[in-house]
Amino acid sequence: MSKEKFERTKPHVNVGTIGHVDHGKTTLTAAITTVLAKTYGGSARAFDQIDNAPEEKLVVSPSTLLTLNMTPRLATTHVDCPGHADYVKT
């Protein structure tokens, strides 16, 4: 692990998607990363590469997708949370 000091030179925006199963959280994440990759360069994964198995067919889907994007003016982090009720505290 690097010991160098992190210098924050750009504003940082954190975005999280939460919601019920099959309401489009991962689809939205894939669309955002695709637009950012086309606009600022980089790579984006297709929806089917991100979400291989439908959540309702799994017993529990604990996987969380984290994307980091750097634009000329912003640094963004997008967290795509699982939609299973066991992972959402009320």
55-76 pLDDT, tens digit each = 444 444 456 666 777 788 888 8
| Whether 50 contacts 26, CB under 8 Å | yes
pLDDT at 44: 75
Active site residue 10: no
Amino acid letter, residue 76: T
pLDDT at 90: 59
Q: What is the DSSP letter of 6?
A: P
pTM of the model: 0.63
Residue 57 among the catalytic residues: no
Buried b / exposed e over 28-62, threshold 16 CB at 10 Å, is bbbebbeebeeeeeeebeeeeebbeeebeeeeebe
Express each pLDDT in 18-54 by its tens digit.
888 888 888 888 888 888 888 888 777 776 666 554 5
Q: Which of 27, 34, 71, 84 is catalytic?
A: 84
Predicted local confidence at residue 63, as pLDDT:
60
Q: Which of 10, 20, 22, 39 is catalytic?
A: 22
